[in-house]
Amino acid sequence: MGGVCIYVKESLNYVRLDLEKYCQDKNFEVCAIKIHLDTKSVCIIAIYRAPCGNFDLFLSKLDAVLRNLYTVTLNYIVCGDINIDYLINSDRKGRLDALLKTYKLTSVVNFPTRIQKNSTTAIDNIFIDTSKTGNYSVSPIINGLSDHDAQLITLHSCNSRDHLQKNIG
């Protein structure tokens, strides 16, 4: 069971981005917002790919979304349940990393996000341009609401008035 959503504090200056045309159940689900802070703008993109989804279609649609939204001046946070285990090397991980690298995006989650009786995986992730983001930290949040733990990214380079945190999971 998947799906994507982004909750935004009402006091933030943001715009919802319409990406409905890119969505395809199980293969690629996406939503996005652009938040305008005092000193920068951040585009947050939430994605979901079902384990049974078509991986090539997922990559193609993700590339189309990023191509459509990408500008050099905007900061990006791509996050979600991608069902690719980042604790192990695999062809799918390599292909996704190669695509994201063309947009200067790097995985920043290096801890398990789904812990079950017989397995530990990192199938949820956050991707950012670490050269633009500045000082940041990422940590797990065990919330008990799902079989996945949430991830919290804190962008320390935003001043206290612009403090931005993103929870996913």
In a domain, 100, yes or no: yes
Structure tokens at 152: 């919290």
- The per-residue pLDDT for 3 is 79
Q: Are 146 and 48 in contact (CB under 8 A)?
A: no
Residue 116 confidence (pLDDT): 66
Angle at alpha carbon of residue 113, lines to 124 and 79, rounded to 5°: 25
Rg of the chain in Å (alpha carbons): 15
Residue among 122, 135, 117, 130 nearest 168 (CA): 122
pLDDT value at residue 147: 60
Q: Decide if 76 is inside a domain.
A: yes
In a domain, 148, yes or no: no
Residue 84 lies in a domain: yes
CATH of the domain at 118: 3.60.10.10
Q: Where are the beta strands (DSSP E) in 7-149?
A: 13-17, 29-36, 41-48, 75-81, 106-107, 114-115, 120-121, 124-128, 136-141
> Is 84 strand, coil or helix?
coil
Distances (CA, A) of 122 to 60, 90, 97, 112: 22, 13, 14, 4
Q: What's the total number of domains in the chain?
A: 1
Task: Enter the pTM of the model.
Answer: 0.84
Give the phi and the psi of residue 135 in degrees, each rounded to 5.
-75, 130
Per-residue pLDDT, 66: 97
Is residue 49 included in any domain, yes or no?
yes
Residue at 164 is within a domain: no
- What is the predicted pLDDT for the residue at 58? 97
Q: Within a domain: residue 139?
A: no
Range of the domain at 101: 13-133
123, part of any domain: yes
Give pLDDT < 50 ranges for the chain.
1, 159-169
The pLDDT tens digits of the residues spanning 49-77 come to 999 999 999 999 999 999 999 998 899 99
Give CA–CA dist 168/94, Å, rounded: 23
